[in-house]
Amino acid sequence: MTLSKTIRIMGCGNLWMGDDGVGIHAVEKLTAMKDKLKNGAPLSDSCFTGLPADALSCLLNVDILDAGVSGLDMLCFLEGFDKIIILDALKSDQNLGAVLRIKGEDLLDGEGVGKMMSSHDVSVPTVLGIAREVQGLPEIIVYGVEIQKHPDEVNLTTEMSPEVTAAVDRLISLVLEEIRKDLNCVNL
C-alpha cells in the first residue's frame, strides 16, 4: 500500500489532573490496540466494534506519541509529518464530554474554542503559532474533549469523570475515521 500522508497522533495532557489526561488516555489505548494489531491479537475493545477493518488497518501506518504537557518541546514533535492529529482537553461552552474537531488554522485564529490545555506550561495554540512563524506547520487537526467547567478548581486525581471517560471511545472512533480517509487504507 502506498501511503498518501505521514501522520502522527499526539496525545496531550496531565494524567494527575483528572479529565485533563483524556488525550493521554486516548493515545495509550490507541497504542495498545496498534500493538494488538501488529501481533494479530483479537480487538475486543468497545471503541473498535463496528468499525470497518480498513479503519483499523490504518492504525498500523501512523505514529502515536504521548506528548504529555510538553510545552515548547512540542515544536520538535511537529516536524517530519504531513499531518498532526492532537488529542487534548478543552474548555468551551459545550457539554462535559463533548468531542470537538478543530482545524489548526481555526485554532490559531481563535475561532470556536474556549480555553485549551490549561495545565500546559505553554498552550497548544501558542506552540502552533510559534511553529507557524519559525518552522512552518503541517496540517493540524485537534480533537478536543470538553472537560470540567471550573478552570480554577484543581483536583489532583488520576480518575476522569464518567462523561470524559465515555468520550474516549468516541474520540478514538473519530480519529480512526480521520486517518482512514487520509490514508485510503484497505484491508491488510
CATH number of the domain where residue 22 is located? 3.40.50.1450
Query: Is 103 among the domain residues?
Result: yes
Other Cβ atoms less than 10 A from the Cβ of 87: the count is: 29
pTM of the model as a whole: 0.83
Please tell me the total count of domains within the chain.
Answer: 1
Query: Is 2 among the domain residues?
Result: no
Query: Is 156 among the domain residues?
Result: yes
pLDDT digits (tens, 9 = 90+) for 9-50: 999 988 888 898 999 999 999 998 888 888 887 776 666 666
Question: 134 exposed, middle or buried (CB, 10 Å; 0-12, 13-18, 19+)?
Answer: exposed
Q: Which domain holds residue 91?
A: 7-183
Sign of CA dihedral 136, 25, 120, 111: positive
Asked if residue 71 has pLDDT above 90, the reply is no
Phi, psi of 157 (to 5 degrees): -160, 150
- C-alpha 130 chain-centroid distance: 20
pLDDT digits (tens, 9 = 90+) for 77-102: 788 899 999 999 988 888 999 999 99
